[in-house]
Amino acid sequence: MARPGFRKYLPAEKLFVVLAYGFLAVFAAACPFPFLNVLAKSFSPEFYIQQGKVWLWPVHPTLNGYEKILEAQGILLGFRNSLIVAVVGTTVNLVMSSLIAYPLSRRRLPLRRTYVTLVVFTMLFPTGIIPMYILVKSLGMINSMTSLILPYAITTFNMIIVKNYFQTVPDSLEESAFIDGAGELTILFRIFIPLSKPVLAAVGLFYLISNWNIFMPAVLFLTSPSKYTIQVVLRDILTQHMLEDQLPFDKGALMSKAGPEAIQAAVTIAAMIPVLAVYPFLQRYFTRGIMIGSVKG
Amino acid sequence: MTEKWAAFTRQVRKNRLLFLMATAVLVWYAVFRYVPYWWNIIAFKDFQWGLGFQNSPWIGLGNFRALFRDPEFYKVLRNTLVISGLKLAVSFPFPILLAILLNEVFHAAFRKTVQTVIFIPFFISWVIYASILSAILSPSSGMLNFLISSLGGKPIYFLASEAWFRAILVISDLLKNSGYYTVIYLAALAGVDEEVYEAAICDGANLFQRIRHITLPGIAPVITILFILKLGQILTVDFEQVYILYNPMVYSVGDVIDTFNYRQGIQGGRFSYTTALGLFNSTIGFIMVLSSNWVLQKLTDNGLW
């Protein structure tokens, strides 16, 4: 940035910049603080947590909390179910979104304006909870992983981002491909998708994270605990814990090594790992991908 | 007409596969978005699973009349509006402030670090975030309460306190989502040419004038778009956030339309009644988006479309 050096600033400007640094530093430090507390708790014995001894560093570090996860069938199943939804769901999302983004991005598509209007309308007029529930139930998808994937195969907002990016691909490219005898699918998979990698990466990561985090549909549609995703499992652990918080507390019962608090902390950290793992990529592609794609088209 | 039709069929024939692709996915939209719209009709019936759609009796506006006479409806409507309003007043402008401040920072590494740290929580689910919050707020083992009691105070059960609950919703929304919007505003600012700032400095504009006349106009279109979208959601407070954090002790201040709808509809089986409420909700949201877009277009030339 080629702005004048700090030294050339007026006193009031200097004060403003110093305050800006201070404010941002405090805010940025406050954000990860609770997270570090949970991380420390996940590696500490229950006893010390209940004593209020664990702040930002584990006390008498132990892996007990995490070992308890491996012993608990329900928690492991939750992770497995979430993984299925994330992997299968994101694949479906990307295929479906590209399949419609491509035709909608081409002016030669018959009824293009009508189709775009029909699609955009669904963004503006939300589907109610109850009608969605009735639909899923009448299709016989209640209590199945399909109910978390099929009704959410396309997020219109994400699809529009892909479509807008596809629109920047010049017509001349596909025209020459047509002359070479390529079909629509070949053009989509051989020209458009390779050209749109940053946008598809960004949108793919968006889909991946929302699939891993999917919650309301899981609460609505899943009825048996063996189908629960990790988010719902954690919800159960959390509400159980909140409930106990309201009762007079018997701390003596929690002297065991990995109690509810330590296990909750361990599950919380474990459930965050996939998000943290893709976070560097997300950061890299977010501004590049989303911003290019959001340009009005 | 026939000529138009001929032109249309010719266009379809020429782009057969393209049209087929679009239409095939449109079928998905028809089933999973438009069929639920159609199911909204049960708002005008007394729908019972046993009878099915066909045989459930029509009752006209009966469900809406019951809704508008229900004191519970006004309670959740008020809660929804208050919480949405607070978020609009507090957690909507906050990222704008963060972006303006970050834009005036000299050290690129500092800016990058702050961005990285505050951007993360947006992508973490409310369940996980609530679990983290409870590590702070829990009366039995939360850090904040240990702090309060070590200072001689009485532990507060924040999540069961009518006085605190709305504040918790607004603050947690601010902490979780500010970073995301800040990054969006900063991306918009990246489009502002640095030369504009340099020219302003040459003309003797001070820091505050630069913020007022360059930075703010630079993000104004994005602010407009996000504001319209937020207005459209005025009757939908983040279901996940409230559902995870609330409990019967704070229903009086924290129960919102969506959570009420869930309890009455899915758990209570009052399908028609809650569909009426949902339809009311969607319609208001739709009208809000259209009208605020129209007004802002008149006022600022920026709009959604």
SS3 at position B50: coil
Nearest CA distance, B67 vs chain A (angstrom) = 16
Alpha-carbon gap, residue A48 to A193, rounded angstroms: 53
CB A196 within 8 A of CB A162: yes
Q: What is the pLDDT of residue A292?
A: 60
Residue A53 lies in a domain: no
pLDDT in tens, A162-195: 999 999 888 888 888 888 888 899 999 999 999 9
Mean pLDDT value across residues B215-230? 89
> Can you tell me which residue has the tokens 């999917």?
A214
A98 falls within a domain: yes
SS3 A63: coil
* Interface residue A268 vs chain B (CB under 8 A): yes
Burial class (CB in 10 A: 0-12, 13-18, 19+), B289: buried
Q: Is residue A13 part of a domain?
A: no
Please state, for a pLDDT cut of 70, what percent of chain A lies above it: 90
Q: What domain range is A117 assigned to?
A: 71-297
Cβ of A254 under 8 Å from any chain B Cβ?
no
Mean pLDDT value of segment B238-250: 91
Sign of CA dihedral B276, B277, B278, B281: positive
Query: What is residue B78's three-state secondary structure?
Result: helix
Does residue A102 sit at the B interface (CB-CB below 8 Å)? yes
pLDDT computed for residue A254 by the predictor: 41
pLDDT: is B33 or B198 the higher one? B33
**Binary contact (A10, B207; C-beta < 8 A):** yes
A15 touches B: beta carbon within 8 Å: no
What gap in Å lies between CA A228 and CA A231, rounded to an integer? 8
Number of domains in chain A: 1
ipTM score of complex = 0.89
Q: By the CB < 8 Å criterion, does B96 face chain A?
A: no
**Section B163-175 average pLDDT:** 94
Q: Does B266 contact A125 at a Cβ distance shorter than 8 Å?
A: no
Is A124's Cβ below 8 Å from some Cβ in B? Answer: yes
Residue A110 lies in a domain: yes
The candidate with the shortest Cα–Cα distance to A149, out of A159, A157, A141, is A141
The arithmetic mean of pLDDT across residues B149-158, rounded, is 86
Residue A216 lies in a domain: yes
Position A251 in a domain: yes
pLDDT of residue B9: 92
Q: Is B14 on the interface with A (CB under 8 A)?
A: yes
CATH number for the domain harbouring residue A283: 1.10.3720.10
- Say yes or no for a CB contact (<8 Å) between B106 and A55: no
- The reply to whether A277 touches chain B by the CB within 8 Å rule is no
CB distance B139–A275 less than 8 Å?
A: no
Q: A62 lies in a domain? A: no
- A32 domain residue, yes or no: no
pLDDT of residue B2: 84
Most A-contacting residue of B16, B25, B106 (CB-CB within 10 A), to test interface: B25
Higher-pLDDT residue of A250 and B7 is B7
pLDDT of residue A247: 53
DSSP state letters, B3-22: HHHHHHHHHHHHTHHHHHHH
Entry pTM = 0.90
pLDDT at B303: 61
pLDDT, average across residues B213-231:
89
A-contacting residues in B 156-195 (Cβ below 8 Å) = 157, 159-160, 175, 179, 183, 186-187, 190, 194
Of the candidates A146, A148, A152, the one whose C-alpha atom is nearest the C-alpha of residue A93 is A152
* pLDDT greater than 90 at residue B154: no
Interchain CB distance below 8 Å, A128 and B127? no
Looking at the complex, report in whole angstroms how far the Cα of residue B257 sits from the nearest Cα belonging to chain A: 11
Kindly state whether A189 is in contact with chain B, defined as any CB-CB distance less than 8 angstroms: no
Please name the residues in contact with B93: beta carbons below 8 A apart, sequence gap of 6 or more. Answer: none
- Whether the CB-CB separation of B31 and A110 falls below 8 Å is answered with no
